């Protein structure tokens, strides 16, 4: 008996085929989410690099309202630096118009930046929970197919009345294929999940730095 992919697929039982289809679907979902998130991260990076020097120039000249208008534009909605900057400036100006103390103005700006960062981080993490679920569940789905593969092996022994390798080969192959496939899908999901999480940590660090710079700027401006 040959053991090519087509032959193994034909030898598989209904349950094993169903498991294989589920695992293929999960791998496609994982790859789709990874590509979609990479594109979202690339947009955030591109727009942030585009707007950062413009915001720096406006704030250097004390044009906070102009900086707020620029950072709030729809074109820069995907920029993490623009979102944090806009939130900080908006809260600072609002606190200033309400005649709050300098300390309260700074705290308002900090809270605004923190809220914007938390919301943007959640946007960046969209789909990651699905990847984590796939990474943890794929091996068990593969194991489910493995169990039925072993059952088929014993069924082959029962039908032939023999315990030779020929009687159990198809079932054992089916079991090993589903196990290997489940582990492979889990590894892919885990790798993509960790890769995206690392990117998110980088963006969080950049947003933290932006918040710190904005707060320092308001302290210097208010102290003049």
| Tens-digit pLDDT string for the chain (224 aa) | 455 566 666 666 777 788 888 999 999 999 999 999 999 999 999 999 999 999 999 998 889 999 999 999 999 999 999 999 999 999 999 998 988 888 899 999 999 999 999 999 999 999 999 999 999 999 999 888 777 777 766 666 666 655 555 545 556 766 778 888 899 999 999 999 999 999 999 999 999 999 999 999 988 887 55
Q: Which residues contact 185 (CB under 8 A, 6 or more apart)?
A: 23, 26, 27, 30, 134, 138, 142
Listed by start position, the domains of the chain span 5-223
How far apart are the C-alpha atoms of 52 and 66, rounded to whole Å?
Answer: 14
Q: What share of the chain is helix, strand, coil (3-state, %, to 5)?
A: 90, 0, 10
Dist. CA 31–CA 126, nearest whole Å: 14
What is the rounded distance in angstroms from the CA atom of residue 138 to the CA atom of residue 62? 55
């Amino acid at each position: 008996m040959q053991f090519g992919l087509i032959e193994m697929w034909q030898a598989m039982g209904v349950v094993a085929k169903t498991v294989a289809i589920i695992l293929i679907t999960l791998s496609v979902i994982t790859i789709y989410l990874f590509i979609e998130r990479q594109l979202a991260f690339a947009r955030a990076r591109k727009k942030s690099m585009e707007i950062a020097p413009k915001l720096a120039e406006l704030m250097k000249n004390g044009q906070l309202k102009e900086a707020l208008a620029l950072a709030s534009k729809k074109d820069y909605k995907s920029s993490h630096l623009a979102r944090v900057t806009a939130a900080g400036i908006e809260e600072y100006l609002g606190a200033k118009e309400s005649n709050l103390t300098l300390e309260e103005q700074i705290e308002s700006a900090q809270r605004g930046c923190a809220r914007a960062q938390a919301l943007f981080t959640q946007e960046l993490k969209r789909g990651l929970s699905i990847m984590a679920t796939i990474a943890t569940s794929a091996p068990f789905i593969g194991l489910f197919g493995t169990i039925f593969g072993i059952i088929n092996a014993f069924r082959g022994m029962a039908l032939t009345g023999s315990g030779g390798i020929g009687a159990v080969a198809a079932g054992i192959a089916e079991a090993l294929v589903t196990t290997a496939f489940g582990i492979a899908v889990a590894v892919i999901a885990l790798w993509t999940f960790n890769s995206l999480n690392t990117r998110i940590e980088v963006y969080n660090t950049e947003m933290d730095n932006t918040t710190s710079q904005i707060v320092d700027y308001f302290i210097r401006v208010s102290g003049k």
